[in-house]
Homo-oligomer: A and B are copies of this chain.
Amino acid sequence: MKRDLDRLMQERGLDAAIVWGTVKGNSTMSYIVNGAKLSHVMVVKKRGQDPILFCGTMEREEAEESGLPVVDTSKYNYRKIMEDAGGDRLKAAVAYYKTILSEVGVTGKVAFYGLGGIGRNWLLLRALDDAIPEITITGEFDDDIFLTARRTKEPEEIERIKAVGRKTCEVVQHVIDYLKSHRLDGDALVRSDGSPVTVGDCKAEIRLELAKRMLIEEVDTIFAIGRDAGIPHSRGNDADPIEAGKTIVFDIFPQEQGGGYFFDMTRTFVVGKASPEILEAYRQLEECFDTVSAKLEAGAKAAQYQTQICDCFEKQGHETIRTNPQVTNGYVHSLGHGIGLDVHENPRLSDFPGIDDTLEPGSVFTFEPGLYYPDKGYGMRIEDVYVVTESNEVVNLTNFPRDLVVKI
């Protein structure tokens, strides 16, 4: 949570944290400016003090929404700085930031955060490090103070995730109703005029229903049928017809418009009737889902659940990524990930060297086992979101049935 930032800075010996970049697409910036709809700004946080927001005159009204003290950067007169630098933009940028950091009294160990051009910012930080003797630039490679603080959510953040979740469930229900509104002609789902309903048609419905609810797709929703459902990353092929008996993996992870909180859930459907093989695989998937999710508890190491789910699937006779890192038929990925301002954040329910996350009060994360048999033309996944409450309960936030068969 945000209140952890000062403690984390203390523990890591940081005197100041500086966040650069746009707000959109830059979750660290979005977090520190409390979601204010700004374009390209800078935030300076000295340890033990409130962050200060630096932005241009034109965005003064949006800046107020951040609740942070705001400095209008027009007073630094960038045109004059550029003239003094003879049009050399790197030189001008160094002069500009040097002025600001000196004015705010930033000294000591300083780390930079946020999203930006990789080579460009490497040059700029190197030049700033040389130009300002009062500061020593340092960096954090992974699990930085912001990502660490964001491992646990405040109640208001959880409410926003829940609200996105409710809307997401409405969209999933809409798609089920859309499928049901058609008829089968042999194995093909068709319109009243006999033309086939396709993956692209379903995706168009999803897009519109999300837009109606002020939600966006950061990247394409997964709506993959048959063999594609057996490849976890496949987003599905628009031209594919919806056919009875094939599994459809529908993994939807929308974000609040303008760059906000995500939700993330997956349901697997078979239109019409499922084969005994698919029914049995789905029964096994549900069995492992229920067995392992029942053991989720506050304070537990997240990686252990990946071990448990592999145990469960292997006992059923499936190959897993634990026994074969290159596996493509069986259980082939990690069990889950935190969600928040990024669709993938901490804690990670992965068994991987260097990952040592714990489920803590305020953790919000997905739990998403799946079974994939692309060679047999099917795949399936169930994904719910869980939160660990302040009273150490683990609560499922995905209030949606997981019936496999969509009867037509």
Among candidates B77, B116, B139, B235, residue contacting A37 with C-beta atoms closer than 8 Å: B235
B112 touches A139 (CB 8 A): no
Taken together as a complex, chains A and B put the C-alpha atoms of A24 and B92 apart, in Å, by 30
Residues of B within 8 Å of A74, CB to CB, are 325-326
A353 on the B face (CB < 8 A): yes
* Complex CA–CA separation, A353 to B138 (angstroms): 32
A111-B119 contact in complex given A79-B352, A207-B211, A234-B61, C-beta closer than 8 Å: yes
Point out the residue from B141, B207, B231 that lies within 8 Å of A124, measured CB to CB.
B141
> 1/0 per position for A57-90, CB-CB distance to B under 8 A?
1110110000000000010010100110111111
Are B90 and A141 closer than 8 Å at their CB atoms?
Answer: yes
Decide yes or no whether A108 CB sits under 8 A from chain B.
Answer: no
Q: At the interface, yes or no: A131 with Cβ under 8 Å from chain B?
A: no
A-side binding surface: helix, strand, loop or mixed? mixed
Contact B113 A137 (CB under 8 A): no
Contact yes or no, B120 A121, CB < 8 A: no
> B122 contacts A142, CB within 8 Å?
no
CA distance A204 to B87 in the complex (A): 43
What are the residues of chain B within 8 A of A87 when measuring CB–CB?
353-354
Choose one: B139, B210, B233, B257; the contact of A58 (CB below 8 Å). B233
CB pair B115 A118 closer than 8 Å: yes
- Interface window among A1-9, A215-223, A385-393: A215-223
In the complex, which residues 334-360 of chain A have their Cβ closer than 8 Å to any Cβ of chain B? 352-354
Q: Which residues of A come within 8 Å of B, CB atoms? A: 20-21, 24-25, 37, 39, 57-59, 61-62, 74, 77, 79, 82-83, 85-90, 92-93, 111-126, 137-142, 144, 204, 207-208, 210-212, 214, 216-220, 231-235, 257-258, 325-326, 328, 352-354
Apart from A79-B353, A119-B138: 5 A-B pairs, beta carbons within 8 A? A59-B233, A89-B354, A93-B141, A121-B121, A122-B137
Q: List 5 A-B contacts (CB under 8 A).
A: A115-B116, A118-B121, A121-B121, A207-B212, A208-B208
